[in-house]
Structure 1
Amino acid sequence: MASILGISLLALVLPGPGVAFVPIGGGTSTHVSITGSALLQKVTETCRAVAEAAGHEFSPTGPSPEELVQACLGPTATGDVSGAKFQSALHEIYTQNGLVDRDFVNSAPHHFNSEAFLEGRGLIMEGMVAIKANIREENFKAARETLGRVLHTLQDFYSHSNWVELGYSEPYINLIRPDLPIENLADVNTATCSNCASGTCSNQILQSIMQKKKLTSGYMGIFSSSKPEGKCSHGGAADLTSTTVPRGGIHKDERNPHNAAFHDAAVSLATEASLQLLEDIRLATGDRDFLRMMGIARSSVVAFVIDTTGSMRDDIEEARSVVYEIINSKKGTQDEPSEYILVPFNDPHFGPMIRTTDPERMKTEISKLRANGGGDEPEMCLSGLQLALTGAPSSSHIYVFTDAIAKDIALKDTIIALIRSTKSTVSFFMTAAKRRRRRSVRAASFGDYKDLAVASGGQAIQVSKAELPQATDVILDTSTSALVTVFQQVRSTGSEETFSFILDESLKNITIYITGASIAFTLTNPNGLQQKFDEPRGRLGTIQTVGNLRRFRLRSNHQPGTWQLYTRTSQPYTVIVTGQSTITFIYDFVENFTGPHPGYAVLSGRPQAGQPATLMLSVLGRKGPSSVTVTDVGLLIPSSRDGVSNSTMTDMGNGDILVTVDKVPEGEFVVALTGTNQMSKNEFQRQSTTKMSISKLNIQAIVDSSVEPGKPFNVPFSVMTRGGGGSHLLSARNDRNYKMTFPERINLSTGKYTKATLTITPPANTESGTDVTLTIDVKTSSGVDSNYIVLRLSVVTKITDFVQPQCEVVNVFADDCPEDQSQCGHFQWELSANLTDGNGTGIERISLRQGAGILSHSSLTAPNIEAHYNASCCSQIVEFVAVDKVGNVGKCYHSIEDSDASPAVTLSLPLWLCLLVSIFVARP
């Protein structure tokens, strides 16, 4: 199948026939729409099951991501709920799905081309193992990326093989069941296709293949026209084998008159197969973690990086107090954090990273922190921050507490790369320790923290230890749901200036942060009302001054329209305006790629200098994209008085926009957006938080599989420059401190890619499901220009246990159930079953999936587990699942409504041999 970047309706750009597996061409069915349809259906099913289990109604008010998330979160979602995290998760999956066509364009197994069925199934199985292991370790981003690639390969089977032509109306379940064989394959010497001179024959499959139900797929030749004698071709202009007899092709990527029925069937089966794979993952991981993988969570993640050296006693106490206040004040509300992260650091140690969804555990962990050691040395602050950036979800808010400069300042470029890659915001709370001497460590200073805060759109707050409790109100402001940035400006020198920005009626809890020393300001609303910096309580709001921070919280009844902020100072300063709103946007810088199935790929690093920048952007509103209209998107330099750069926009529909900026700013820029709220007809504006800049360097890399513990893994990559050639500096770091080897210099020629290889070796005892974030940086010898790429690797232990847990129903007693259902509530029925995992890894979890009764079981450590189910005769169906320790799923199903069994039935009776088909045992 062809690729598409994570924009679900990119295929609507150009006119043309209906297309299912091609990215650009005019159809409404694409890889992304197939994937999106399956994901939304499975998420909806899961949300409904979670809601029913919790005893509340699941009734979305509409089909948009925002409305689905609102309904899924249930009664706690009483405030503003943003669908941004869910939409971002979908886009990550779509993006990786599309990249299979760029990164593995000539790989037959990735597309089930050239009869590579065993190898293709192997990729699917390896991916499913990695996904389940990643979710188990809460590495959801790695799981999403692998899921996108696996779904592409699975979907390609139905378009590229003859499964549809053979008349099968159900997906080939064996592709996701390693315990079932892939059989009846046409061997390399068996002819499979007749000649089709026109290339548009309705069915080229030989009758002998049809009669014997032999499985085959088309051969694809991108660089060669050769193929085994008598074999089918993939077909199409990019397939050089399509002109070799037998000519033509059997792919069903496009819907044309000669293959319309086959094409439609392939789309249907690809969608159903995707649902089966998603259901297997859902059952293996559980509803809660499946939804977390999909980015459906109440609110933001709260992440703390805390210096624990001796002088930090007061700071640790304040961080502890803030965590307790967040937990106690936001519990049960939409603003309750969905996850807590804590990373302590000292000297020379840092970590471990502690992640939990349990607020009580977070209280316990932060209460364990003690200030000790450290002396007057700088600390490992950036190492701790690196752990938080790689462990927290994208677009997280991370808060750093320290009173010392960074000893590990060499990590600064890596931290900036991770900030830009994750779009996370980092705020520093910096207090001065009187007893510490600041030593020169590669010219490190508190200014480095300010640079990182500015790059991320966060705050760099310098206060005394006594003032710290007042400054931490910023954490309470930002650890909330649906947080958006309306406006931001950075000035490196003092100035007298008036800023204008738009506040719309959807915004709540609007806060203006002005960070800098000796600054005077006046805020004016659209009606001309004013409030000055020396009025703590005025007509527009309240002003809190602490250290170098002024926090201006506007009144809840703010006037929508254009506001003005006049500033006067001789010192550097920043201005940031934030609020809560469901109107927001997500974006990625992208580059197009060519090939048989062209598309767009997300840039991991900085956009290239000397050419237009392209963005894929999605806008979200309270009732979905139809509730907002975008009028302008551009790039803005927050440190400059220049306006927003001009751009051209192509509306893809459904809130998705392709944006091209011909003249990219030279300095650091953000994405600025204005539009109209269709519900109120008022104008709004939003900005991205993360600063980006251009580079003449470009890095590309491909990760094609998971990494085995204890074994070296090669990561090939390529570097190109549009600037001067010659020797360039290369560095690489990973967040697990795994051993790596790579060239420290690389010679580049202008306009040509130079290949290199990095080798990483995880320890043999690495836990399966661990993810590794790898950052590769390239710099010019002078250090003037640089670029980076961020890769995520999954460490997965090879497994040999593919046997699903087995279920044997040994006894059913339903004799008391009356035929008159109006009386069913007064009677009970029971079922007993034995569950085993054979010679596998052992059953880890047993859970009820259908039925309103009570399920209990004996110890999971026993080789034979006894399960017992008791329910009202009104609830006549039971289904429970058993999951083993590597994610294999078995099901046990029984219905007393369909059963003619006697009160006590065991599998020793012939009747139960017949009923086995309907009772179990690992139904797909």
Structure 2
Amino acid sequence: MTSLLGVALLALALSGPTVAFAPLGGGTSTHVSITGTALLQKVTETCRAVAEAAGHEFNPTGSSPVELVQACLGPTATGDVSGAKFHSALQEIYVQNGLVDRDFVNSPPHHFDSEAFLEGRSLIMEGMSAIKANIREENFKAARETLGRVLHTLQDFYSHSNWVELGNTEPYINLIQPDLPLENLADVNTATCSDCSSGTCPNPILPDILKEKKLTSGYMGIFTSAKPSGKCSHGGAADLTSNTVPRGGISKDERRSDNVALHEAAVKTATVASLQLLEDIRSAAGDRDFLRMMGIARSSVVCFVIDTTGSMSDDIEEARSVVYEIIDSKKGTQDEPSEYILVPFNDPGFGPMIRTTDPEKMKTEIAKLKANGGGDEPEMCLSGLQLALTGAPSSSNIYVFTDATAKDIALKDTIVALIRSTKSTVSFFMTGPSGRHRRSVRAASFTDYRDLALASGGQAITVSKAQLPQATDVILDTSTSALVTVLQRARNVGNEETFPFLLDESLKNITIYITGTPITFTLTNPAGVSQNQNETNGKLGTIQAVGNLRRIRLNSDKQSGTWRINIKSNQPYTLKVTGQSTITFIYDFVEKFTGPHPGYAVLSGRPQSGQPATLMLSVIGRKEPSSVSVKDIGLVVVSGPEAVTSGSITDMGNGDILVTVDTVPEGEFVVVLKGTDKVSNSEFQRQSTTQMSVSKVNIQAVVDSNVEPGQTLMLPFSVMTQGVGGTYTIDARNDRKFSMTYPPRLELTTGQYANGTLSITAPADTKSGTDVTLTIEAKSSSGADSNYNVLRLSVVTKITDFYQPQCVVFGVLAEDCPKDLSQCGSFSWELSANLTDGNGTGIESISLRQGNGSLSHSSLQASIIQARYNASCCSQIVEFIAVDKVGNVGKCYHSIVRSGGAPVLSLSLPLWLCLLASMFVGNP
């Protein structure tokens, strides 16, 4: 199957006839369309269930991410609701789906090629176990990445095997239920195909194979034409075995005149199979965490990294006050944070990271912080920040409170790599220096914090401890939904300069931040009305000055159009303009890969120097993608002269754009987008916050499996430079302090890859579902050039329990339910059932999936758990779910509806009939 990143999203997944399994440039991308259709349907089902359980309607006004998220969050989602995180979650899944064609191009199990059925099923089961374990530990990004890969393998089964040729119209449920055997597999000595000299025969499967219902798949030869005698080939120009008798192939990747019916059957079955897998994951995770995995949540995440040394008592008290204010003032609104994260650090320790969706728990945890310890050493600030960057969702706002320089300054390059990888924004509140002296190897200073803030698009605010309460309004500004950046610039040497910026009709709560002293400025609106730094309450807005920060909040009656701010300073300063709007964009730098199924892969490090930069970019409007049009996309240096390097735009449809910038700016740059909002017919401007630069160094590495607790994972990697060869320093770090070994240096020859191997060992007591963020860096001996690769791997305990919980209904009392359903509201019915997990790990949760009644059960610690359900006779169907401790799912379904529509009046079934009438099934 072909996987073209960004070709299709919401509308594409649901629109028109699906031309799936098409080659690059030949039409709709199969994995994107199938995956998108399944994800949207399952998200919609889940949102509807959550809405109904909460007692409100689920009624999206359209199919755009914004409208779907708005409807899913319900009536409390007032104000601006951003669909960016949902959109990003979909893209992450699509990206990983596509990378299977690059990273595992010659791996039969990943594609169910060459009759590797058992091995392919094992990959699916291992992936599903990892996804469930990751969700349990709230490691949603790791879960999404694995989900994309698993869906690719599952979908390939229906295109690459003869499942649909055998007349099957439903998915092969055994692929996702390991307690069911894979049956009737053709062995290596069984011929399966007839010769097809033209290569396009309608169905070359041998009659005996069809008659005996033998399961086979095509052999794929990327580097060799050899295959067992009589076996089917995959087919196509890239498959060298397709010219070996029997010639041709059985792949249904492309719709051709000779295979239209089989191709469409494969697409349909693969879609239903994807839905089954998603339903199993949803059932194991629960509706709330399934939606969180999919990025359906209020977009604001509050993340604090706080120095707890003895001199920080005032700062801790202010951070506590801000958290309380956020919780109390935003509760029940769209701006209520979806998650709270707290990371303390001290000397010599840091952490643990505390994550919660419960605001009261966050209050409790931050109330526990006490200022103590420390001494005369700087603190472990960057270690704490590393935990936050790897634990918080991508694109989070992180706030660091400290009064000392960083003792662990050696982590600075790793922090920059993580900032670029996660696109998170880091702001520092610095109340030092405190008088503690640095004893670190490298001369750390507050300038390092300013560098990191600028790299992320954040603020570096220096105030006295007494002034800190006035400065934390920045946190209230940015811990909000639908936050966008209109402009950000920095100047290392202050001169007088005028910065124009475009404000559109959709923007609200517009705020301008200037950090630096001394500063004078004049702000001018499109009508020519001006206000300078001395007018704290002027015609254009209110100005707050504290420490090195100037915060300008524009009045709500701001004019749309081009504004200007003239700044005079003889010192370095930064300028940032933000607001709230659902009009935004997400982007990734990508590189093209070739092979049988070419596509685009997201770069894990910096783009390559001397080559055009390629971006895959999605524009999100207030409604469907057609509600905005894009005028210009380019790159601009944040700290240099105002010059945008524009890129050539290829519209991929549905708001997705491929951008190629032939000449990449020197230095650190950001992405700038300009377009028109068709809803208001006004022009808009948006800018990315994370700075990027190019490198001549390239690092390649692929994580191809999970790691078990107590085991070591060997990770090969390769480094190449297009610059000066010689000795390059290799450095690797992970956020879990797992033991690692790797070569400290590699000798590079220009244009040639040098290979190394990293080993990482997960301690035996590592909790299953833990994710590990691993950063590999390579730097030239002079330090003039470097690059990085950020990888994510999961620690998953090997699963031996594949058996689902079982259910036996032993009593149904419905004799009071009337035949006339108009009278049903005055009567009720009951169901009793016993739940067991056999020899498994034990049932962990029982929850109601269908039905408006009440469900109760005895202790989950019992060997036999009794469940009781009571409902109105108007609610005649019940389904509840039991999940064991490793994520196996059983579903218990019962109905009192008869075929004629009247309810069962009385039912007390013998055990054998109960087993037939009401049983747990693993998947729908």
TM-score, structure 2 length as denominator? 0.98
SS of match in other structure, 1:75: coil
Letter in 2 for 1:548: N
Q: What pairs with 1:477-492 in structure 2 (closer than 5 Å)?
A: 477-492=477-492
SS of match in other structure, 1:605: coil
Contact 1:725 1:750 survives alignment (8 Å): yes
User: In the alignment, which residue of structure 1 is the partner of 2:233?
Assistant: 233
User: In the alignment, which residue of structure 1 is the partner of 2:647?
Assistant: 647
1:214-247 CA distance string (max 9 Å, x none): 0000000010001000000000000000000000
SS of match in other structure, 2:35: helix
Deviation at 1:19, TM superposition (A): 4.0
Change (3 A) 1:709 1:23: farther
Residue segments in structure 1 that go unaligned for 5+ positions in a row: none
Deviation at 1:820, TM superposition (A): 1.0
User: In the alignment, which residue of structure 2 is the partner of 1:412?
Assistant: 412
User: In the alignment, which residue of structure 2 is the partner of 1:906?
Assistant: 909
Contact 2:396 2:424 survives alignment (8 Å): yes
SS of match in other structure, 1:125: helix
Deviation at 1:299, TM superposition (A): 2.6
SS of match in other structure, 1:404: coil
Q: Distance in 1 between matches of 2:809 and 2:625?
A: 50
Letter in 1 for 2:206: L
Contact 2:10 2:40 survives alignment (8 Å): no
User: In the alignment, which residue of structure 2 is the partner of 1:771?
Assistant: 771
Contact 1:9 1:652 survives alignment (8 Å): no
Q: Distance in 2 between matches of 1:236 and 1:923?
A: 35
User: In the alignment, which residue of structure 2 is the partner of 1:33?
Assistant: 33
Q: Distance in 2 between matches of 1:738 and 1:434?
A: 33
Q: Distance in 2 between matches of 1:888 and 1:354?
A: 28
**Residues 1:147 and 2:167 are matched in the alignment:** no
1:250-297 CA distance string (max 9 Å, x none): 000000100000000000011100000000000000000000000011
Contact 2:817 2:904 survives alignment (8 Å): no
Deviation at 1:754, TM superposition (A): 1.8
SS of match in other structure, 2:484: strand
Q: Distance in 1 between matches of 2:815 and 2:577?
A: 69
User: In the alignment, which residue of structure 1 is the partner of 2:42?
Assistant: 42
Letter in 1 for 2:695: S
User: In the alignment, which residue of structure 2 is the partner of 1:556?
Assistant: 556
Change (3 A) 1:904 1:799: same
Letter in 2 for 1:703: V
Length, aligned pairs only: 917
User: In the alignment, which residue of structure 2 is the partner of 1:915?
Assistant: 917
**Residues 1:73 and 2:73 are matched in the alignment:** yes
**Residues 1:842 and 2:838 are matched in the alignment:** no
1:494-544 CA distance string (max 9 Å, x none): 101111110111000000000000110000000000000111010000000
Report runs of 4+ in structure 1 exceeding 2 Å deviation.
9-12, 25-29, 433-441, 898-904, 910-916, 919-924
Deviation at 1:744, TM superposition (A): 0.4
SS of match in other structure, 2:219: coil
1:629-655 CA distance string (max 9 Å, x none): 000000000111141002100001100
Q: Distance in 1 between matches of 2:565 and 2:433?
A: 35
Q: Distance in 1 between matches of 2:719 and 2:566?
A: 46
Deviation at 1:26, TM superposition (A): 3.1
Letter in 1 for 2:757: T
Q: What pairs with 1:129-528 in structure 2 (closer than 5 Å)?
A: 129-439=129-439, 441-528=441-528
Letter in 2 for 1:700: Q
1:880-911 CA distance string (max 9 Å, x none): 01000000000111111138977352343x54
Contact 1:674 1:685 survives alignment (8 Å): yes
Contact 1:6 1:92 survives alignment (8 Å): no
Deviation at 1:187, TM superposition (A): 0.1
Contact 2:832 2:869 survives alignment (8 Å): yes
SS of match in other structure, 1:305: strand
Deviation at 1:27, TM superposition (A): 2.2
Letter in 1 for 2:633: V
Letter in 2 for 1:912: C
Q: Distance in 1 between matches of 2:596 and 2:512?
A: 50
Change (3 A) 1:838 1:588: same
Letter in 1 for 2:145: E
Q: Distance in 2 between matches of 1:821 and 1:676?
A: 54
Letter in 1 for 2:917: L
Letter in 1 for 2:136: R
Deviation at 1:752, TM superposition (A): 1.8
Contact 1:198 1:248 survives alignment (8 Å): yes
Change (3 A) 1:456 1:823: same
Q: Distance in 2 between matches of 1:6 and 1:749?
A: 35
Q: Distance in 2 between matches of 1:713 and 1:784?
A: 32
Q: What pairs with 1:882-893 in structure 2 (closer than 5 Å)?
A: 882-893=882-893
1:688-722 CA distance string (max 9 Å, x none): 00000000001111111111011110111111111
Contact 2:22 2:28 survives alignment (8 Å): no
Q: Distance in 2 between matches of 1:99 and 1:870?
A: 48
Change (3 A) 1:750 1:18: farther
Q: Distance in 2 between matches of 1:923 and 1:340?
A: 34
Letter in 1 for 2:693: S
Q: Distance in 2 between matches of 1:290 and 1:4?
A: 25
Q: Distance in 1 between matches of 2:404 and 2:85?
A: 34
Q: Distance in 2 between matches of 1:59 and 1:897?
A: 28
1:366-397 CA distance string (max 9 Å, x none): 00000001022100000000000000000000
SS of match in other structure, 1:495: coil
User: In the alignment, which residue of structure 1 is the partner of 2:676?
Assistant: 676
Bigger Cα displacement from structure 2, 749-758 vs 254-263: 749-758
Contact 2:810 2:914 survives alignment (8 Å): no
User: In the alignment, which residue of structure 2 is the partner of 1:542?
Assistant: 542
Contact 2:808 2:914 survives alignment (8 Å): no
Q: Give the CA RMSD over aligned residues.
A: 1.4
Q: Distance in 2 between matches of 1:329 and 1:103?
A: 48
Q: Distance in 1 between matches of 2:832 and 2:338?
A: 38
Residue segments in structure 2 that go unaligned for 5+ positions in a row: none
Q: Distance in 2 between matches of 1:534 and 1:353?
A: 42
Contact 1:7 1:94 survives alignment (8 Å): no
Q: Distance in 2 between matches of 1:694 and 1:913?
A: 64
User: In the alignment, which residue of structure 1 is the partner of 2:92?
Assistant: 92
Letter in 2 for 1:539: K
SS of match in other structure, 1:708: coil
SS of match in other structure, 1:765: coil
Change (3 A) 1:495 1:838: same
Q: Distance in 2 between matches of 1:852 and 1:820?
A: 19
Change (3 A) 1:673 1:923: closer
Letter in 2 for 1:58: F
Deviation at 1:555, TM superposition (A): 0.4
SS of match in other structure, 1:542: strand
User: In the alignment, which residue of structure 2 is the partner of 1:794?
Assistant: 794
Contact 1:377 1:438 survives alignment (8 Å): yes
Deviation at 1:23, TM superposition (A): 5.1
Letter in 1 for 2:707: V
User: In the alignment, which residue of structure 2 is the partner of 1:585?
Assistant: 585
